Each structure stands twice: as structure tokens, then as C-alpha cells.
Amino acid sequence: MAIRKIRTIGDEILRKKCKPVKEITPRIIDLIKDMFETMYEANGVGLAAPQVGILKQIVVIDVEDGNQYVLINPEIIETDGEQTGPEGCLSVPGKSGTVTRPNYVKVKAFDADMQPFVLEGEELLARAICHECDHLSGELFVDKVEGEIEDVTLEEEEEEVEEY
Ligand SMILES: [Zn+2]
């Protein structure tokens, strides 16, 4: 396993659309492991493949609910409600902003064995799913910020603003 370099805003790759995964190969298994390692090392709760320079529809999420979610070719099929709160992104270091997201999300995806499954999430998990799915279509949270994009101090970053 290896820590991969996280691409940051301004890098064109973050603005491109990702391609669906057709089959799981050893390279994809390695990529998924590296994505978790890279995400944990950066204290994030989610990471999408384009953030490490790979234009494939792969997302990893760990919002500390005891699960390590791998979402391949995810598609949001239902949303409900609203939540408005601070959001950060590992690809936009040191910044945060207020983003409104659905409070409930149902997503269908494939797991690391290419088996289809459906995941439902509320609150932080719903926000993470939306944020990561946006990455797969080249969108960043800064596109959706209400009001100003703010600088976050290191303490705030560690305690209050989750990064995806
Ligand atoms: Zn992000």
C-alpha cells in the first residue's frame, strides 16, 4: 500500500468526468487500499479516485460509523430533506464553506467485489456521499458554497470541519 498524492484545486483532473469501472483488477484493488490509506493519513472522511489522479468512478468513505464504504460506479437514486453546514475538501486545503446537502441519500453502487448494493445514509454520511459523487462528475464543494469561502485554522480543521 502507498500514500498517493492528493490533487488540489487548479489541477485540471479534478474537473473531468470519471469513467465507470468495468471490472475489478489487481490495480483497482491496490487503488482502493491506497485511497483508504491516503484518506486516513490526511484525516479525511471520504476520498474520490480523481483526487489521487485516477479518472474512475471509485469512492471510499469512512465517517467513523464502523464501516469502510467502497462505492464503485455510484448513482444517487433518492434524496430527502436538507442539511446546511460547513464542508471542507482534501483537494481544497485550508478552506471551508457552508453547503446545503440532502439530509438523506440512497445510493446504488458496486462493492470491491463488483457486487451491486444499495446504501442509505443520513447527515454526515449523506453529505459524504454527495460530496464524493460530485467529485466523480468534476464538481467541487466550492461550486456550491453559500456565502464566503473561509480559511480554517488547524484546530478548526481537526475539530469542526470534515474534509472529503
Ligand atoms: Zn472533496
- Residue-level pLDDT at 156: 65
- Residue-level pLDDT at 158: 62
What CA dihedral angle connects 112, 69, 106 and 12, to 10 degrees?
A: -80
Tell how far the Cα of 132 is from the centroid of ligand 1, in angstroms.
Answer: 6
Q: What contacts 32, CB < 8 A, 6 or more positions away?
A: 58, 60, 70, 112
Tell how far the Cα of 141 is from the centroid of ligand 1, in angstroms.
Answer: 7
Residue 106, beta-bridge partner list: 78, 120
Tell how far the Cα of 56 is from the centroid of ligand 1, in angstroms.
Answer: 15
- Residue-level pLDDT at 92: 97
Tell how far the Cα of 114 is from the centroid of ligand 1, in angstroms.
Answer: 24
- Residue-level pLDDT at 160: 74
Region 120-138: mean pLDDT is: 98
105: its cell numbers: 441519500
Query: Beta strands of 3-102 (E only): which ranges?
Result: 46-48, 58-61, 69-80, 83-89, 92-101
More confident residue, 3 or 159: 3
CA-CA distance, 74 to 132, in Å (whole number)?
A: 9
Domain covering 12-159 assigned CATH 3.90.45.10 in the classification: yes
Tell how far the Cα of 26 is from the centroid of ligand 1, in angstroms.
Answer: 25
CA-CA distance, 153 to 76, in Å (whole number)?
A: 33
- Residue-level pLDDT at 161: 86
pLDDT in tens, 32-88: 999 999 999 999 999 999 999 999 999 999 999 999 999 999 999 999 999 999 999
- Spatial CA neighbour of 141 closest among 70, 63, 133: 133
Q: Are 125 and 104 in contact (CB under 8 A)?
A: no
Q: What contacts 2, CB < 8 A, 6 or more positions away?
A: 34, 37
Note residues around ion ligand 1 (Cβ under 5 angstroms): 89, 164
Average pLDDT over all residues of the chain: 95
- Residue-level pLDDT at 120: 98
Active site residues: 132
Region 86-92: mean pLDDT is: 96
pLDDT in tens, 7-41: 999 999 999 999 999 999 999 999 999 999 999 99
- Residue-level pLDDT at 157: 59
- Residue-level pLDDT at 65: 94
